[in-house]
Structure 1
């Protein structure tokens, strides 16, 4: 939409053109308007999610030394890494419904500050109970951030542009792996022996501080809605809101949360997301351990090698999201990505004794699993709006993220039971195949 209302007809050359009346709006360059929105919001939201993801998964690097210092077993680690998602599950829907009532600015600031403080407190874990408690609280405080941003973007980005924008935002997953690994490795190496904390304790403290600062910045930087964006002209504010309101009035979308819960599509999306998150959680929490299984020992070397799969996965996110927008197709782009992820995880398990082939397979798995995310989140936005979007997106994410609890624990338990990581990786590969079947087959009838 390039203008809110039609412009006056051209006047004869001898007469001056009439001025706009109070009810008219000047022409708006739609492409420039959407570009301004994207450049203003997306880099900052990427940065916030980058901090969230680092603070969520840095326990995977702390594990390299923490388990030995505290004498925790692999099963204790797996339960502690995964219990984050129980708190996440319990508080995510209420957080997103609250966001719709009080606005994104206050909600995202509260979330970011509290998760940063909790991450810093992880440095003082001494027992399995304190480990479980702080990981649970981290999930409680971070609950609502990701679905909150997904909902927030529907206030600013039309559906036809959302696959690409989702792809750029979700590069946070991959960027966190690209920069988080080397940064964690540097902290673990550089702060080893620096009093009064151990290197894994410094990791939690130094990576939690930026989140607290960023949460304070949110209050002054993020507007809740286009009408509050001082960096948009009045005409752009009006045009953008008119475009989004017209889209929400489009038939076929469910507006109430109760109505959305009765739709098979919501439950199919939830099951699909559960399987995708299972693959992502495995990569996030077990990547350092998987790289060490290949014979790498130095913390910095592990961090640098861990960045390779996430770099390729980040590129896959952007390309898959952009191509999905270009073609207008969502379902097969998502199913194809999860199929690639399944193949990569299975090949990692098969070649775990061969460092080169296993590393290549890990990279393939990251390309597939991460590449599925941006396209997946364009699917529920196609049939949800209003309160249904707030509650439905949070419901999908909260239930789906229970896989983040189940898979790290399952991986730790199966490693102790079998003595290796291959069996657990085959289970996670089967989860990716399940998501492929749901999206490609079960959702086909609903798409029609």
Structure 2
């Protein structure tokens, strides 16, 4: 329909670039610790396992505060709550630059200050990502979600493609104003979050019904289409918030996301150190580290669009996780730097290609507050891999002296996620509006009621 094409183009142009920018900054502040570690670990006396613990403990705090934060977002509105999240994480991300100063002032060790700030950063950022995913479910019908989540989440690899060389260059600011290069990494990369917190308040719109920047016919069409899809899902089964948090399907999607995130974060936090061991400078390390993420940008956009065209989710997630696991396993057995980076770039296609498609799974059967809670539950449980992956990599590195065994561990986590998605029951008919069901929809809908 002409009105559908016109409306969705306008909504995509209005929301996606801005949300990508916000997530770019969020992800950069979350993982720039990997680049800071090239100088910070020695300055603070951190071993590989201590660094991995501190990098990953962010996700423990994230786990406990994710669901409450997303329920508050559903209550107060995305605009105000996301602005609050970005302001508080910007303050704490910048505070990472002053770990030695805080340690001297409090009498704590630098390691414990590092752990404490990472915990607080996790508390501050909790709810941001699932809040955005929930917001996208309010604005985009199911047939668009694979691609728009792919566009939005392309900020993850882009944050490394762009941020890695920048972080590498900032390390060269060593000694300016009495601060080390790693401190400048934290300080400069925290500033955009504070500025964007104000922009969020001024720019975002909570729901389509409030979108005065849409024409009246566009706004009415979008509201009607979203209501139609919601009523169709709820006619099959309407989940309450408590049910959504503990339903087996939500827990299964969380396990899939855990496997995907273990490959992502385990590699992200340690890839700069793996590449640096090739004998490269900090700036060269930044550029080489970005290679798997360039592939990741392409895969997120292409694989999400391909999933939408086929309206197929399970096989897309499973294939991508298989590619991720295979690429990481191959890299573990390769010593040649060029071949290792080729293998990790292949892995990058799978690591990032699966992520947007995973988020179509809970949105297919949850709506309203149950969707806010269920999506947050998937994200909080799945992001525990953000602790498991880096800590396992660090511990194995200290135990074996190399990264090979740790990479095999990450590959295994990807295979666990692949197995979980193959066992998942997913009803494709729930991703269509009433009256638009495929021929097999009736039988599938009957099965979903049980």
Same-fold status (TM-score > 0.5): yes
Determine if the alignment matches structure 1 residue 94 to structure 2 residue 68. yes
Q: Which has the higher helix share?
A: 2
Structure 1: gaps (5+ residues): 3-27
Residue matched to 2:193: 211
Secondary structure of residue in 1 paired with 2:177 = coil
- Written as runs of structure 1 = structure 2, the 5 A alignment for 1:315-354 is 315-351=298-334, 353-354=335-336
Residue matched to 2:257: 273
User: Residue 65 of structure 1 is aligned with which of 23, 26, 39?
Assistant: 39
1:445 CA displacement: 7.4
Residue matched to 2:82: 108
User: Residue 270 of structure 2 is aligned with which of 286, 296, 314?
Assistant: 286
Q: Does the 8 A contact of 1:67 with 1:77 survive in 2?
A: yes
Q: Does the 8 A contact of 1:330 with 1:375 survive in 2?
A: yes
User: Residue 291 of structure 2 is aligned with which of 296, 308, 315?
Assistant: 308
> Distance in 2 between the 1:41 and 1:427 partners?
38
Residue matched to 2:434: none
> Distance in 2 between the 1:411 and 1:283 partners?
8
Q: Does the 8 A contact of 1:253 with 1:382 survive in 2?
A: no
Determine if the alignment matches structure 1 residue 443 to structure 2 residue 424. yes
Q: Does the 8 A contact of 1:254 with 1:260 survive in 2?
A: no
1:355 CA displacement: 0.6
Residue matched to 2:107: none
Q: Does the 8 A contact of 1:380 with 1:393 survive in 2?
A: yes
1:444 CA displacement: 4.9
Structure 1 stretch displaced more, 324-333 or 255-264? 255-264
When the two structures are superposed, what TM-score results if normalisation uses the length of structure 1? 0.91
Determine if the alignment matches structure 1 residue 264 to structure 2 residue 248. yes
Per-residue CA shift, 1:210-244, capped at 9, x if unaligned?
Answer: 11001111100001111222211222222211110
Per-residue CA shift, 1:303-352, capped at 9, x if unaligned?
Answer: 0011111000110011100000001100000000000000011011010x
Q: Does the 8 A contact of 1:170 with 1:317 survive in 2?
A: yes
- Written as runs of structure 1 = structure 2, the 5 A alignment for 1:41-440 is 41-126=15-100, 127-189=110-172, 191-250=173-232, 251-293=235-277, 295-351=278-334, 353-440=335-422
Q: Alpha carbons of 1:54 and 1:360: their partners in 2 closer, same or farther (altered >3 Å)?
A: same
Structure 1 stretch displaced more, 228-237 or 82-91? 228-237
> Distance in 2 between the 1:359 and 1:381 partners?
35
Q: Does the 8 A contact of 1:255 with 1:386 survive in 2?
A: no
> Distance in 2 between the 1:443 and 1:95 partners?
27
Q: Alpha carbons of 1:384 and 1:405: their partners in 2 closer, same or farther (altered >3 Å)?
A: same
Q: Does the 8 A contact of 2:276 with 2:282 survive in 1?
A: no
Q: Does the 8 A contact of 1:271 with 1:435 survive in 2?
A: yes
Q: Alpha carbons of 1:71 and 1:106: their partners in 2 closer, same or farther (altered >3 Å)?
A: same
> Distance in 1 between the 2:157 and 2:49 partners?
26
> Distance in 2 between the 1:419 and 1:253 partners?
52
Per-residue CA shift, 1:139-181, capped at 9, x if unaligned?
Answer: 1011001100000001100011111111101101110110010
Highest Rg: 1 or 2?
1
Per-residue CA shift, 1:76-131, capped at 9, x if unaligned?
Answer: 11111001001111111011101111000001100111111111000011311110
> Distance in 1 between the 2:427 and 2:417 partners?
16
> Distance in 2 between the 1:100 and 1:48 partners?
19
Q: Alpha carbons of 1:136 and 1:409: their partners in 2 closer, same or farther (altered >3 Å)?
A: same
1:446 CA displacement: 6.7
Query: Pairwise CA RMSD of aligned residues?
Result: 1.3
Secondary structure of residue in 1 paired with 2:174 = coil
When the two structures are superposed, what TM-score results if normalisation uses the length of structure 2? 0.91
